[in-house]
Amino acid sequence: AQSVTQPDIHITVSEGASLELRCNYSYGATPYLFWYVQSPGQGLQLLLKYFSGDTLVQGIKGFEAEFKRSQSSFNLRKPSVHWSDAAEYFCAVALNTGTASKLTFGTGTRLQVTL
């Protein structure tokens, strides 16, 4: 069965600092990969997705992620964090685009931003 690991439960960064959130997946083939963000009391908002093609994908709010097949990773990055980025971030995978309704999520990374 596919699985997703987000090794960092909680990360604290200073406003203006760079950010990298880690995501590793376990699956025999290349899955379809997503990053979602959840603000307190809210639903999940899609930041970016990778289906195929260029392994560096750009998302909303200045986020990007890089797919590395050799490392089974899909890490999320942002060059300069804003206080409004404080939230919980989830990496998710799907077997293929046809099953994008069947997502497997990581356990999430809570980001705290200090001023």
Partner 1 sequence: NAGVTQTPKFQVLKTGQSMTLQCAQDMNHEYMSWYRQDPGMGLRLIHYSVGAGITDQGEVPNGYNVSRSTTEDFPLRLLSAAPSQTSVYFCASSYPGQPQHFGDGTRLSIL
Stretch that binds partner 1, among 20-28, 36-44, 60-68, 69-77 (CB under 8 A): 36-44
Q: Residue 87: which residues within 8 A CB-CB, separation 6 or more?
A: 37, 38, 39, 40, 110, 111
Task: Fill in the amino acid letter for 99.
Answer: T
Q: Does 60 bind partner 1 (CB under 8 A)?
A: no
Q: Residue 41: which residues within 8 A CB-CB, separation 6 or more?
A: none
What tokens appear for 73 in the block? 């990773």
Total of residues contacting partner 1 (CB under 8 A): 24
Q: Does 86 bind partner 1 (CB under 8 A)?
A: no
Q: What 3-state class would DSSP assign to 33?
A: strand
One residue of 12, 26, 80, 107 binding partner 1 per CB under 8 A: 107
d(CA 53, CA 22): 21
Smallest gap from residue 59 Cβ to partner 1 (A): 11
One residue of 85, 106, 111, 113 binding partner 1 per CB under 8 A: 106
Site track 9-28 with partner 1 (rule: CB under 8 A), x = hit: x-------------------
Task: Fill in the amino acid letter for 80.
Answer: S
Residues near partner 1 (CB under 8 A) are 4, 9, 34, 36, 41-46, 49, 90, 92, 97-98, 100-108
